[in-house]
Structure 1
């Protein structure tokens, strides 16, 4: 371990030294001075530096994603002159402790696939590869995605592999999620924006709390059924959803009419529509059976947005569900941050309820 090294929280007075260190350590993918200024404010992050005497010789930055149990090592750097002395290991240990104090279960990171020394270090510290991202860096090199459970020992995880797809508009979270399920059930399906918009046209409620309409759970299931999938819908209420967020009378009338049309078409096509709230135990059962599940959530705990939002439940373990969120734009998250997001089961139960009438809905594709 490095001797005489002090690990402490980053301060605004460290800005110049941080920029100098960044330029010395990286030829590409550098954090800008403006980025450092942002992260030094300390919002949703852990930012530590390593010092030797008066010199700043390393830093580590971890992002804490709101509403999740996930921490992400966003950047770590050690001055070239002092590498090989255990400073990176010291930094990472302190960052893990701080993330654990913030109630995070997992630390994730990305590392260049060709950086064998860094990969070996992370493996030594308990990280394991769970994915690979091609053409990730500015120089077009590939990245390995690694993960470590920092708060609890590893448990058995049920993980049907589901591809991730970003919604291309602000109102197509439902179609984007359905595309993920359909692609997992049938890898021959070509995921495209054209199909995403087709699904929206088939399932839209026309109106929503604001802007274009979202998608009705029965409409989404009917769209899947029309393409040969064995779909099921679970609804806590059989009445028209989302009415409480709409003020105009003519919009309420349209929502009512569209709802009745979807329910009638569902009955006519013998679509299984179960009148029952979506529960944690039912989600666990579906995932154990390797069914493919998308659920409607209140995304307030994720991004402070009170709108209803569709996500895919990709996997589970003893403590968490894992989600694919199709919306990259909220809080300027990257696509990596939207995949397999760990949410504690005790927290997810609160997210499954939307609005004052405690509405819950799920669309399930059975293999």
Structure 2
């Protein structure tokens, strides 16, 4: 076989890449601008397959900030180079590069009717874990596949949690609570009406700008009203997010809302533990059957300096796995937002927000009478 090598894509490769793209795809093609952007991109791996000093294919992998997840965004091989082992070699080269970037998992989407590609990924160790209907421009369906690329599979503690994406920039809390409600009670209908109802019940009214996010006690009260048991763990019981608001009137409203939520939570006998949230506590709650909502600083995920609610769905020796309801980012798909692997040491940093290092988590169970955690039962 002639010499085959892999190298980083360069600007002078673009014409050849566009030619390969046109030969391989009838829709969902990457444009010249896209190739230019990814060649300059930082959070990606963009390799070309060079054979006899001619480019015959490429693979593009996205590296999602703050996680141990890599996602195969696009891969293409010139028809003349097929059937010679190049595709497998390219995939393995991408996996090696992702491991060097400290990623644990590779995920991808593939057209369901593309049996050759599906079989290739299966031979390489990828397993189907979901499906997207009407995913591509031609309305065909996609399979979702995943492979652990750094370590052998380890025992994982997890419960099935359906994923739901928020419809507004300020409803991550309601969306996260809805996922948990549907995990506990599968008959729960997940729609925007419920999302907005929960937001109206739990909102802080104001944030630093725009609409207010959801107060942890407001979310706990909303869960309680719907028959679920809720426990709140927070590092402080002082009013939240006031330091980021300049207006004296807004500060006054935030203080009043906080006091109302605190009084109503106490009246409803919702347990409130004034302690910093820890990795060990989250693990313990998951082991004892609780569903866990955590407020994180989204900076480590997407660069935004904002509090953001997510659901912890599982954990193993290395990682927590998150459902993130927010897909409102370029190149982010539903696949990228489910069971996101985040190393425990990274997650420990995410759960501290702001200068005060505020941390908060909600532990949700089926009902007050079905609580598994004896300490929670006693405090009720």
Task: State TM-score, norm by structure 2.
Answer: 0.93
Deviations 1:335-354 (A, max 9, x none): 22111111000100000001
**Offset of 1:155 from its aligned partner?**
0.5
Contact 1:207 1:255 in 2 (8 A): yes
The alignment partner of 2:157 has SS state of coil
**2:326 maps to what in 1?**
327
Which structure 2 residues correspond to residues 27-106 of structure 1 after superposition, within 5 A? 27-106=26-105
For residues 128 and 152 of structure 1, the distance between their equivalents in structure 2, rounded to whole angstroms, comes to 15
**Offset of 1:237 from its aligned partner?**
0.6
Farther off after superposition, 323-332 or 343-352: 323-332
Deviations 1:26-71 (A, max 9, x none): 1122112221111111321101111222421111010011111110
Deviations 1:240-283 (A, max 9, x none): 11111112211111111111100100011111112211110111
**1:274 maps to what in 2?**
273
The alignment partner of 1:15 has SS state of helix
**2:378 maps to what in 1?**
none
Which structure 2 residues correspond to residues 183-332 of structure 1 after superposition, within 5 A? 183-332=182-331
Q: Structure 1 residues 240, 335: CA separation in 2 closer, same or farther (over 3 Å shift)? A: same
For residues 349 and 331 of structure 1, the distance between their equivalents in structure 2, rounded to whole angstroms, comes to 26
For residues 95 and 118 of structure 1, the distance between their equivalents in structure 2, rounded to whole angstroms, comes to 16
Gaps of 5+ in 2: 367-380
Count residues with an aligned counterpart. 366
Contact 2:69 2:340 in 1 (8 A): yes
For residues 145 and 265 of structure 2, the distance between their equivalents in structure 1, rounded to whole angstroms, comes to 43
**1:128 maps to what in 2?**
127
The alignment partner of 2:15 has SS state of helix
Contact 1:127 1:147 in 2 (8 A): yes
**1:365 maps to what in 2?**
364
- Does residue 182 (structure 1) correspond to residue 175 (structure 2)? The answer is no
The alignment partner of 1:155 has SS state of coil
Contact 1:303 1:331 in 2 (8 A): no
Farther off after superposition, 85-94 or 27-36: 27-36
For residues 113 and 245 of structure 2, the distance between their equivalents in structure 1, rounded to whole angstroms, comes to 53
**Offset of 1:168 from its aligned partner?**
1.2
For residues 129 and 315 of structure 2, the distance between their equivalents in structure 1, rounded to whole angstroms, comes to 15
Deviations 1:269-302 (A, max 9, x none): 1111122111101111122223211100111111
**1:148 maps to what in 2?**
147
Moved over 3 A (4+): none
Contact 2:319 2:341 in 1 (8 A): yes
**Offset of 1:158 from its aligned partner?**
2.0
Contact 1:320 1:343 in 2 (8 A): yes
Farther off after superposition, 280-289 or 261-270: 280-289
**Offset of 1:332 from its aligned partner?**
4.7
**1:117 maps to what in 2?**
116
**Offset of 1:331 from its aligned partner?**
4.4
**Offset of 1:4 from its aligned partner?**
2.2
For residues 170 and 238 of structure 2, the distance between their equivalents in structure 1, rounded to whole angstroms, comes to 22
